[in-house]
A and B are shown apart, each in its own frame.
Chain A
Amino acid sequence: KAGVTQTPRYLIKTRGQQVTLSCSPISGHRSVSWYQQTPGQGLQFLFEYFSETQRNKGNFPGRFSGRQFSNSRSEMNVSTLELGDSALYLCASRESAVNTEAFFGQGTRLTVV
């Protein structure tokens, strides 16, 4: 089985632009969660999608949004980028909402200049 795939791996954007990151979960997994990892704040939960519905949301501004498609693939969008949005964005998939074992992708490294 293929693992969790995140694209692109690296991204450089300018302040004020918007960006879309993609995550393809393990086949058969219906839950996708997103995390932001920075040296200062560590790993922080952004949101979780299950069966195309947002189940849970972290404490991030509305500039951060996401969605999930019927094939469980998920996208995360950040609008009006700020320098502080530079981070590693990790996606994790779980088989179901009750299965606790999360499998992570390799992340997308976003740099905002």
Chain B
Amino acid sequence: AQTVTQSQPEMSVQEAETVTLSCTYDTSESDYYLFWYKQPPSRQMILVIRQEAYKQQNATENRFSVNFQKAAKSFSLKISDSQLGDAAMYFCASFTDKLIFGTGTRLQVFP
């Protein structure tokens, strides 16, 4: 069975600063994918970044990057140069045959 754990219910960051959101996962599959999704107040889930488990290189997407530690089953998201528009719920998810989500981290960004 897949499980995804996000231990930080809420995080806050000052505008232009860097913040890291934590996520751990567990799966018995060798082939899987990991995702971070953002859910703003509009409720639409937006894909932030994707990591293939077989790739050792950490994924990067503009100001968003991940720290993928496969042995530790850890998949954290780093947001650099935080912007007010980054304020949202962030969900970590794993995919083998379906998406399994963590409980989410609410990120607040202060000016």
A27 CB to nearest chain B CB (Å): 18
| B99 beta carbon closer than 8 Å to chain A | yes
Option from B33, B43, B104 in Cβ contact (under 8 Å) with A106: B43
Alpha-carbon distance between A48 and B103 when the two chains are bound, in angstroms: 21
| A81 beta carbon closer than 8 Å to chain B | no
Option from B33, B45, B101, B104 in Cβ contact (under 8 Å) with A100: B33
A45 and B98 contact, CB distance less than 8 A:
yes
Chain B: how many interface residues by the 8 Å CB criterion?
A: 19
Please classify the interface of chain A as helix (H, G, I), strand (E, B), loop, or mixed, using the class held by over half of its residues. Answer: strand
B50 and A33 contact, CB distance less than 8 A:
no
0/1 per residue, B11-36, Cβ < 8 Å to A? 00000000000000000000001000
Chain A: how many interface residues by the 8 Å CB criterion?
A: 21
0/1 per residue, A14-48, Cβ < 8 Å to B? 00000000000000000001010000001101001
B91 and A43 contact, CB distance less than 8 A:
yes
Option from A33, A103, A106 in Cβ contact (under 8 Å) with B47: A103
| B56 beta carbon closer than 8 Å to chain A | no
B21 CB to nearest chain A CB (Å): 16
B49 CB to nearest chain A CB (Å): 11
Chain B residues with Cβ under 8 A from A55's Cβ?
97
B31 CB to nearest chain A CB (Å): 10
In the complex, the chain A residue whose C-beta lies closest to that of B6 is: A42
A90 and B45 contact, CB distance less than 8 A:
yes
B97 and A42 contact, CB distance less than 8 A:
no
A92 and B50 contact, CB distance less than 8 A:
no
A-B contact pairs, 9 of them (CB 8 A): A33-B98, A35-B99, A35-B101, A42-B101, A88-B43, A90-B43, A100-B33, A101-B47, A106-B42
